[in-house]
Amino acid sequence: MAKISILGSGIVGTIVGRGFKEFGNRVIFYDIDEKKVQNLRNSGLDSTTELSNAIRESDISFLCLPTPTKDRKIDLSYIRSVTENLARCLKEKNDYHVVVVKSTVLPTTTEKVVIPLLEEHSGKKVGPDIGVCVNPEFLTEIHRSWTDNKSYARDFFSEDRVVIGEFDKRSGDVLQALYEPLKVPIIRTDLQTAEMIKYACNCALASRISYWNEIYYICQRLGIDSNLVAKVAGMDKRIGKYGTIHGKAFGGKCLPKDLDAFISFSEKLSCEPKLLKAVTEINERIKAERGVRE
């Protein structure tokens, strides 16, 4: 049995925390939102508004904090502030503690932002004293999504695979042991590859939606049934059906913000993301014409 703390008990934090609890681990939820903490308590879950309690009661902490996009840039203020405070709590602990970045963060964030903050504010070393992993979340909630098709839903228990980006083998081994009961492939990488995999996934999903919307517009102009076209094209297993939403924009909590942040990140690297910009343009056009399905 592992002792886990969930730092940020929103959508991702609660789903992941409940999942680990079902596997028999001890889980404590932390959030600044007192109402959320009270609701979790009311449903019988151990929860607190005191970060120090959560850290004292756990050996592994999952950062499940918001990473919104502001002015086309990822806002890391939630991650920074909780990581700093977490590090201060670790100063008071003697045992090895693993910090897992579950939030979606751009490649190199864990190495350049999270690790330096942990070391600076704990006075300890990542490696011998503190373990660090990146463990992107792939859940999709259908009620928030552009589709009603439940086969696209993903939650803790229906992941296709688990991705573990690890600072070192020791950190990755701790996380792998937690996920073993899921019995899905576990892929271990370095930190930035795991961060990149999450953006590669969200950008691919968004691209498919814009692609099929482009086909939809052309079908409409010609009076062709786009449903039939997509259905038959999707019978080819290389293509599948994902993204065929016939003139609806994608919205939701993740795809637009992650796409925006990733486009400006790629531009800064002088890698012009032409396709991803077109994906956004198509989506913006549909959003303006027809509204967005959240």
Ligand X SMILES: NC(=O)c1ccc[n+]([C@@H]2O[C@H](COP(=O)([O-])OP(=O)(O)OC[C@H]3O[C@@H](n4cnc5c(N)ncnc54)[C@H](O)[C@@H]3O)[C@@H](O)[C@H]2O)c1
Residues of the shown chain interacting with ligand X in the complex, contacts defined by CB under 6 A: 7-13, 30-33, 36, 64-67, 78, 81-82, 103-104, 137, 139, 141, 253-254
* Of residues 62, 88, 13, the one with CA closest to residue 171: 62
* Residue 81 neighbours by CB under 8 Å, 6+ apart: none
For ligand X, give the closer residue by CB, 204 or 232: 204
d(CA 103, CA 91): 23
Q: What element of type H or E holds 197?
A: helix 191-222
The count of other CB atoms within 10 Å of the CB of residue 48 is 19
Ranked by CB distance to ligand X, the top (closest) residue is 10
CA of 20: how far to CAs of 1, 58, 130, 155, 202, in Å? 10, 13, 21, 12, 24
| Partner residues linked to 82 by β-bridges | none
d(CA 26, CA 61): 12
Q: Which of helix, strand or coil describes residue 110?
A: helix
Phi, psi at residue 256, to the nearest 5°? -65, -45
Q: How far is the CB of 79 from ligand X (least distance, A)?
A: 8
Q: Which of 89, 133, 254, 271 is catalytic?
A: 254
Max Cα–Cα distance, the chain, nearest Å: 69
For ligand X, give the closer residue by CB, 17 or 273: 17
Q: How far is the CB of 65 from ligand X (least distance, A)?
A: 5
Phi, psi at residue 73, to the nearest 5°? -120, 145
For ligand X, give the closer residue by CB, 8 or 273: 8
For ligand X, give the closer residue by CB, 199 or 216: 199
The half-sphere exposure of 207 on its side-chain side, counting CA atoms within 13 A, is: 13
For ligand X, give the closer residue by CB, 16 or 219: 16
User: Could you give the dihedral angle defined by the CA atoms of residues 150, 242, 213 and 273, in that order, rounded to the nearest 10 degrees?
Assistant: 120
Q: What element of type H or E holds 6?
A: strand 3-7
For ligand X, give the closer residue by CB, 30 or 216: 30
Would residue 133 show up in a list of annotated catalytic residues for this protein? no
Q: How far is the CB of 144 from ligand X (least distance, A)?
A: 7
Q: How far is the CB of 170 from ligand X (least distance, A)?
A: 25
d(CA 58, CA 42): 21
Q: How far is the CB of 114 from ligand X (least distance, A)?
A: 13
Cα dihedral sign for 282, 284, 285, 287?
positive
Q: How far is the CB of 269 from ligand X (least distance, A)?
A: 21
Active-site positions? 254
